[in-house]
Amino acid sequence: MKPSGSLRLGVNVDHVATVRNARGGVHPDPVRAALLAAEAGADGITAHLREDRRHISDADIEALMRDLKVPLNLEMAATEEMLAIALKHRPHAVCLVPEKREERTTEGGLDAAGGHNYLAPFVRQLSGAGIRVSLFIESDPRQLDAAKSMGAPVVELHTGSYCEAAPGAPRDTLLKRIQTAAAHAERIGLECHAGHGLSYDTVGPIAAIKTLAELNIGHFLVGEAIFSGFADSIRRMRETMDAARSE
Ligand code: PXP
């Protein structure tokens, strides 16, 4: 872990497993990638165990829990099946995400405000087991307030729309929304993270938000690994984040 005040990088290894599963074998191994990521400067590893197991498998989670020396952030839907898995493994952190079978990736944030009564028992049980719970939400003060009211200590702001927006005014508007939400999180006493879709081009303005504690990045880093290697892509992302943070 870096000293407090600095920005942690969580590397998501889901898409190493996507490539592995394309052939149904054991290569490339997401656990090996996670160990390499930690050596290259990742402060933690993130893995999303989806209901349909399209990338990360139950065995991957077991191996990550066994072999990792850095914290594991388990992303999962708020379901009874996933809750039982989380309580069995007790990872450092769980990030609750919305999940639809037909989506290609996590498409929006959790409706923490509308789903308060459903989600609150998950937050309570996970927290009771000593797991740091975060809710993956849109940059909407109502959602942040709902996360706070159900006792989640952390929120992760969805940066997908910001990353997909055209550079210039459309992206700047969405950046402003993320900046405002991060400031609101600090005001109400939530640790604030961000992630989804971040690349070398889009990470700078997000990393510059001083109240963010952690970014979770996966798809871009795994894609870049084809061109420059996984360790190199992580080191370059780390440098880009640190440079933006120190401005
Ligand atoms: N954070 C959360 C909550 C996610 O669901 C994902 C995607 O699994 C990420 C971060 C990472 O997004 P990407 O793979 O686009 O970097």
CATH number at residue 159: 3.20.20.70
Q: Per the domain annotation, does 2 fall within a domain?
A: no
What's residue 107's pLDDT?
73
User: Does 217 contact ligand 1 (Cβ within 6 A)?
Assistant: yes
Q: State the closest ligand 1 atom to the C-alpha of 156, by its place in the atom list counted from 1.
A: 3
| C-alpha to C-alpha distances, 111 to 49, 60, 66, 126, 162, nearest whole angstrom | 20, 28, 33, 18, 19
What's residue 23's pLDDT?
96
Q: Per the domain annotation, does 27 fall within a domain?
A: yes
Containing structural domain, residue 189: 8-246
Q: Per the domain annotation, does 134 fall within a domain?
A: yes
Q: Per the domain annotation, does 1 fall within a domain?
A: no
Give the count of domains, the chain: 1
What positions carry a catalytic annotation?
A: 48, 75, 196
What's residue 1's pLDDT?
41
What's residue 4's pLDDT?
41
What's residue 38's pLDDT?
98
Residue matched to tokens 């690349």: 199
Residue 125 alpha carbon to ligand 1 centre in Å = 24
What's residue 247's pLDDT?
81
User: Does 10 contact ligand 1 (Cβ within 6 A)?
Assistant: no
User: Does 216 contact ligand 1 (Cβ within 6 A)?
Assistant: yes
What's residue 124's pLDDT?
98
Q: Please identify every stretch of the chain with a pLDDT value under 50, giving residue numbers as ranges.
A: 1-4
What's residue 6's pLDDT?
85
